[in-house]
Amino acid sequence: MASDAAPATAIAAGSAPEPAAATEARPLLGMGLSALEQWAQQQGQARFRGRQLHDWLYAKGARRLEEVSVLPKAWREGLAATPPTGASDWIGRSRELHRSVARDGTTKLLLGTHDGLSIETVGIPAEGRLTVCVSSQVGCPMACRFCATGKGGLQRSLAVHEVVDQVLSVREVMGERPSHVVFMGMGEPLLNVEAVLEAIDCLCSDLGMAQRQITVSTVGVPRTLPTLAERALERLGRAQFTLAVSLHAPDQRLREELIPTAHAYPIEALLEDCRRYVAITGRRVSFEYILLGGLNDQPRHAAALAQLLRGFQSHVNLIPYNPIEEEEFQRPSPAAVESFRRSLQERHVAVSVRASRGLDADAACGQLRRRLTA
């Protein structure tokens, strides 16, 4: 859970002042302006030093305290030897371990955490936008059968700074400001709700992104969707990010075959929780549906899916399966994808097909890490 990786007390711009102890165990990255100002004052420095730090952390993308040349040298040197920066001058940035660039510009980074683990993050350029696909955990406990990340289990949840760092890393490598963030990398965001919401807050308050350009994707964890809605309202004041639910099957039996954890969460209960999410947030939900050749891509599945979603203000995003090494699933034929799409459309379901990006850069989530760390 989030609170394992980061202190439960959350610090963000505009939030209530934090007790001094809360700032000691965490790096500077992830802190909002008021928290940084407060921290500078606790350090016996002028308040405006917090604003300078904020500028260097977020606008300039500093990697080490040493680089923040506007700060008094003696203070920087003293800080480098004490928490929260630690002896190594660490402010919360990761190390780039590997970079893989596809012909279409899609850039996958393998980033090393301070405790020696690695996560994937992907920058996906498209006309007028740059989307960052971020991880929320190191590994994932959900074990969906078609997913490369699920093969290795969960190591731990990511802390706020580790999510924000992914966006900064893509910005640095691609030389462009990310416009969109999707929590569709490694991990299950709803097992790390507090850190995910705090990271969203930081991306919006400190990096200037808009909540509407952010998507949180979940395969469904019982009883967490209404909590996500309520906590988002409490913590962010509004819940305008998009919730995407990985449905992948039109009925419980098939869904359990693909997603073992689904047996603890009947599809009707999942949809009921989606309705509650919509009622609380006023936002429509989108559903992801991976198309696995011959398995869930047949006309009868499209008909059943349309029936299941009848009367539900939703959008379906079809994702043709990206092959991973260990599994026997097939990529759907282009004809099957098109007929599935048309079939939903004819039944008045809003539908789109996700274009496959960067297939030559180990497109499926978790593949690069598996290949390089196996």
Q: Is 53 in the site for ligand SAH (CB under 6 A)?
A: no
Question: Which is the catalytic residue, given 18, 37, 120, 188?
Answer: 120
Q: Is 134 in the site for ligand SAH (CB under 6 A)?
A: no
Q: How far is the CB of 47 from ligand SAH (least distance, A)?
A: 40
For ligand SAH (CB under 6 A), the number of binding residues is 18
Q: Is 288 annotated as catalytic?
A: no
Q: Is 288 in the site for ligand SAH (CB under 6 A)?
A: yes
Among 30-38, 97-105, 214-222, 232-240, which window interacts with ligand SAH (CB under 6 A)?
214-222
Q: Identify which of residues 11 and 154 has a Cβ nearer to ligand SAH in the complex.
A: 154
Q: How far is the CB of 145 from ligand SAH (least distance, A)?
A: 9
Q: How far is the CB of 35 from ligand SAH (least distance, A)?
A: 28
x/- mask, ligand SAH, residues 317-346, rule CB under 6 A, reads --x-xx-x----------------------
Query: Cis ω on the peptide bond leading into residue 84 (within 30° of 0)?
Result: yes
DSSP-based three-state secondary structure for 145: coil
CA distance 79 to 47: 16
Q: Is 140 annotated as catalytic?
A: no
Q: Identify which of residues 120 and 206 has a Cβ nearer to ligand SAH in the complex.
A: 120
Measured between its terminal Cα atoms, the distance across the chain in Å is: 25
Q: Is 265 in the site for ligand SAH (CB under 6 A)?
A: no
Among 7-15, 151-159, 215-223, 343-351, which window interacts with ligand SAH (CB under 6 A)?
215-223
**Sheet strand arrangement including 314-320:** 95-101, 107-112, 118-126, 129-133, 180-183, 214-218, 242-246, 285-291, 314-320, 350-353
Q: Are 157 and 1 in contact (CB under 8 A)?
A: yes
Cα angle: 282, vertex 288, 292; to 5 degrees: 165
Q: Is 286 in the site for ligand SAH (CB under 6 A)?
A: no
Neighbours of 213 (CB within 10 A): 18
Question: Which is the catalytic residue, given 140, 144, 274, 365?
Answer: 365
Q: Identify which of residues 57 and 184 has a Cβ nearer to ligand SAH in the complex.
A: 184
- Please, is 237 exposed, middle or buried when counting C-beta atoms within 10 Å of its C-beta (0-12, 13-18, 19+)? exposed
Q: How far is the CB of 158 from ligand SAH (least distance, A)?
A: 13
Among 17-25, 91-99, 294-302, 314-322, which window interacts with ligand SAH (CB under 6 A)?
314-322
Place of tokens 């359990």: 256
Q: Given candidates 57, 249, 271, 290, which one binds ligand SAH under the rule CB under 6 A?
A: 290
The dihedral formed by the CA atoms of 194, 200, 119 and 216, expressed in degrees to the nearest 10: 80
Q: Identify which of residues 24 and 326 has a Cβ nearer to ligand SAH in the complex.
A: 326
Q: Is 188 in the site for ligand SAH (CB under 6 A)?
A: yes
CA distance 292 to 321: 6
Q: Is 292 in the site for ligand SAH (CB under 6 A)?
A: no
Q: Is 56 in the site for ligand SAH (CB under 6 A)?
A: no
CA distance 160 to 142: 21
CA distance 180 to 17: 29
Q: How far is the CB of 87 from ligand SAH (least distance, A)?
A: 35
Q: Identify which of residues 314 and 322 has a Cβ nearer to ligand SAH in the complex.
A: 322
Phi, then psi, of 368 in degrees rounded to 5: -60, -45
CA distance 11 to 206: 12
Q: Is 217 in the site for ligand SAH (CB under 6 A)?
A: yes
Q: Are 302 and 344 in contact (CB under 8 A)?
A: yes
Q: Are 338 and 163 in contact (CB under 8 A)?
A: no
Q: Which residues are catalytic?
A: 120, 365
Interacting residues toward ligand SAH by CB under 6 A: 142, 144, 146-147, 184, 188, 217-219, 246, 288, 290, 319, 321-322, 324, 364-365
